[in-house]
A and B are shown apart, each in its own frame.
Chain A
């Protein structure tokens, strides 16, 4: 049941341009469309997943100007003039991103539903460079839930890429 909600007869579509994975997308959107829905429904980039739609699972994580954020808790109309990167945009020229490869090597997923969010979150974590120990990586990856319980493999994958970067 939906309650007697306020109805604004004059809600108008906004003409906006989103920069996603380096491409501009011109869209006509109602103001309440979340960035997540715009990516999935309007741009057909369905790699970004909707788990809870309320900020509680991390499945919808994308990178905005390099920072990990939840696309379900922001509106598309608020995200013009920023660089949005989704899971579809992280691999360079046909090669897997090192984290994608590490997720395969370290058995870091089962059903795969949380994986795009996990990988985008892990890229954000590496950009931030605030996690030094395994415990800190676990804490700073805790915004991404995995119902399959692949967490150990996920942390192993992140640690492997983290170590390979610090050895470069």
Chain B
């Protein structure tokens, strides 16, 4: 790590003024991503600003619109095991519990989870070109070993994926991100929070300098009856998704009233395709229909030398997960395949 100074921000304004005044003053919450990045010299800090003492952003409570507000500083574990989340938003619990390890989830915060950076090996190796780490230096992954990389939403400058599991569920739940900053407070729809790389892959999201995530709102609809999270990876646990799928279904008289499906591990942000979800409306929840949806979601997918397998894998994972969603009790620890 570079030599930095350290301070605890006791209120929001202090944190905001420290980071808006200097791009190299960095916030630290759980520390599980930023300390790792500092150790590799991928991130450098002048001052590390500890936000854990900021009051008011570390609770889970009902919001004004019948949904739930989860504070940015609540840990991933406390969120996943919270009684309201387990009951009304079990998809979010499952997705969180499929990520990282028990120790990391006890440290990682909800705000930090949204802002974790890619696990692209070249992003992590400061001796190789990487447009995300060093804009303009080139992308080592496009011609390199790209097994864990994107098949959707990538650009000629970057093919990295956004690695979060929690965010795949937040995408399906149409969460809203609450942000405070040097200007006015604002709320951003989850689908507008993260961004595609285009020719500026250095920004993963639309958070502006000096801004701080205060909370995440979950609308009332939690898909607590028919939901599933499936995570496919190289080991059974404690590794990032090659492909993951979150599904929430609403059924009426045996037909699909509403379907939401998001993919993780395949794109620079959780991937949803509205037409593919709309296609399922009024249809029977059966394999043939889910297969047609999967085709639509993967439309335009482009793989690279080592990750083409993800295209077929994602289609099969979508179908499997939609079937699993019909019987959530079948789900296994760590979001492994069931049924």
Contacts and interface: CB of A to CB of B under 8 A. Distances in A.
Is chain B found bound to chain A in the same assembly? yes
Interface of A: 1-3, 5-8, 10-12, 14, 30-32, 34, 53-55, 58, 61, 67-70, 72-75, 77-78, 121, 124-125, 128, 130, 133, 135-136, 138-145
A69 B107 contact: yes
Contacts of B307: none
B50 interface: yes
Interface stretch (B36-44, B244-252, B283-291, B295-303): B36-44
A34 B103 contact: no
B137 interface: no
Contact of B44 (A5, A11, A12, A69): A5
Given A31-B6, A135-B333, A73 B106 contact: no
13 contacts: A1-B127, A3-B126, A5-B3, A5-B41, A6-B3, A11-B3, A31-B6, A34-B35, A55-B36, A70-B104, A72-B35, A136-B333, A143-B238
B102 A78 contact: no
A77 B6 contact: yes
Given A53-B39, A135-B333, A61 B103 contact: yes
Contacts of B6: 14, 31-32, 75, 77
B333 A139 contact: yes
B107 A12 contact: no
Contacts of B333: 133, 135-136, 138-140
Contacts of A11: 3-5
B48 interface: yes
Closest 10 pairs (CB-CB, A-B): A143-B101, A31-B6, A142-B237, A139-B333, A5-B2, A139-B334, A32-B1, A142-B238, A6-B44, A11-B3
